[in-house]
């Protein structure tokens, strides 16, 4: 049977007039991300066949060993966004500072900035477990034509105009929102075409899956320990199921389809949490809220957190609204833990 759903290209054109600001730049931006994701997907899916496995031996600004595919994915997204002359600046987990993109023929232009984690969960690459790309798009706040500034990147998550992720799993999917719901597209690698396979994605209100690295239990704040005990006790619809892939995009994607909660809290080992606010938590939170879910730091919506630096870390609770609210009930008993 022929594939009925529209392609990503058709979808972007069909919906671009929804976006009041856009004279087509946002559509061109999304098209460039679509192209970069296809290129990265091709490389990820053959990683085992070429000498691209293993670490590149460098350490990134996060102090993490950079995997070769991390660097490759970063290069592809940087080059695509630069060459397509769409954005005035890009920030990446793999870059110490933001990158200024000059408009050809001198001068600085273009309305948007992009923040990205080009390959999240990359430590899973060598063991053939799914990884992902996360991106976040803002309108610049500094005057058009001027040099992009750090303030253009340090905007609250509420100000995002688009956000999405690519999950390089058993199939490659691009899931994104521009503030009008969440839609998922599956890549047909033979044709290089993305098809609308998951229209209007929604988090189930409740769920029975919790995703957290329980190996850190002894280091967790008491509110998280209490919530985990709640998930595990034999009461009502519990105990819940524990599922943790070690790849935010994959755990989030499964929980959005089946219902569930993902938590990366503060701990004595990670006093501010591990995930980065600007290019991991805010984009996933925009998607979560657009899909009827909730995303917080355990106390307040993550998209209301005031950014103060590019690679800022925050605790992250995201998923089915009833599960996140229940976890927040436990956290509320320990208000001091809200100051991370």
State which of residues 28, 84, 274, 294 lies at the interface with ligand P6P (CB under 6 A).
274
When asked if residue 198 is in the footprint of ligand P6P (CB under 6 A), the reply is no
CA dist 192 and 262 (Å) reads 31
When asked if residue 247 is in the footprint of ligand P6P (CB under 6 A), the reply is yes
Question: What minimum distance in Å lies between the beta carbon of 274 and ligand P6P?
Answer: 6
Question: What minimum distance in Å lies between the beta carbon of 143 and ligand P6P?
Answer: 35
Question: What minimum distance in Å lies between the beta carbon of 77 and ligand P6P?
Answer: 17
Question: What minimum distance in Å lies between the beta carbon of 9 and ligand P6P?
Answer: 29
When asked if residue 243 is in the footprint of ligand P6P (CB under 6 A), the reply is no
CA dist 191 and 32 (Å) reads 17
Question: Which of 110/313 has CB closer to ligand P6P?
Answer: 313
CA dist 38 and 147 (Å) reads 30
CA dist 196 and 135 (Å) reads 19
Which range touches ligand P6P (CB under 6 A), out of 45-53, 101-109, 199-207, 241-249? 241-249
When asked if residue 213 is in the footprint of ligand P6P (CB under 6 A), the reply is yes
When asked if residue 157 is in the footprint of ligand P6P (CB under 6 A), the reply is no
State the binding string over 114-153 for ligand P6P (x if CB under 6 A, else -): ------xx-x------------------------------
Question: Which of 66/80 has CB closer to ligand P6P?
Answer: 66
Question: What minimum distance in Å lies between the beta carbon of 295 and ligand P6P?
Answer: 14
When asked if residue 246 is in the footprint of ligand P6P (CB under 6 A), the reply is yes
Question: What minimum distance in Å lies between the beta carbon of 304 and ligand P6P?
Answer: 22
When asked if residue 248 is in the footprint of ligand P6P (CB under 6 A), the reply is yes
Q: Which residues bind ligand P6P (CB under 6 A)?
A: 120-121, 123, 213, 246-248, 274-275
């Amino acid at each position: 049977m022929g594939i009925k759903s529209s392609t990503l290209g058709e979808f972007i054109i069909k919906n671009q007039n929804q976006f009041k600001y856009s004279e087509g730049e946002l559509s061109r931006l999304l098209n460039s991300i679509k192209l970069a994701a296809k290129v990265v997907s091709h490389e990820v899916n053959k990683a085992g066949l070429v000498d691209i496995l293993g670490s590149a031996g460098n350490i990134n600004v996060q102090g993490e060993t950079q995997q070769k595919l991390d660097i490759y994915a970063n290069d592809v997204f940087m080059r695509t966004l630069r060459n397509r002359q769409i954005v005035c600046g890009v920030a990446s987990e793999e870059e110490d500072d933001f990158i200024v993109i000059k408009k050809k023929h001198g001068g600085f232009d273009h309305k948007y900035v992009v923040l990205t984690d080009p390959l999240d969960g990359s430590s899973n690459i060598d063991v053939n477990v799914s990884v992902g790309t996360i991106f976040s798009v803002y309108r610049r706040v500094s005057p058009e034509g001027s040099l992009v500034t750090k303030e253009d990147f340090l905007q609250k998550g509420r100000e995002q105009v688009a956000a999405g992720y690519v999950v390089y799993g058993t199939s490659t999917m691009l899931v994104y929102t521009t503030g009008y719901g969440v839609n998922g597209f599956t890549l047909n690698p033979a044709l290089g075409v993305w098809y609308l396979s998951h229209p209007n994605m929604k988090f189930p209100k409740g769920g029975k899956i919790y995703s957290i690295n329980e190996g850190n239990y002894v280091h967790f704040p008491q509110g998280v320990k209490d919530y985990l005990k709640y998930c595990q006790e034999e009461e009502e619809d519990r105990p819940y199921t524990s599922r943790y892939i070690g790849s935010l995009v994959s755990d989030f994607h499964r929980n959005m389809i089946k219902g569930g909660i993902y938590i990366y809290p503060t701990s004595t080992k990670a006093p501010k949490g591990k995930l980065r606010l600007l290019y991991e938590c805010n984009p996933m939170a925009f998607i979560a809220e657009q899909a009827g879910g909730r995303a917080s730091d355990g106390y307040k919506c993550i998209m209301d957190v005031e950014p103060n630096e590019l690679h800022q870390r925050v605790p992250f609770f995201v998923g089915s609204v009833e599960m996140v609210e229940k976890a927040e009930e436990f956290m509320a008993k320990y208000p001091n833990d809200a100051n991370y």
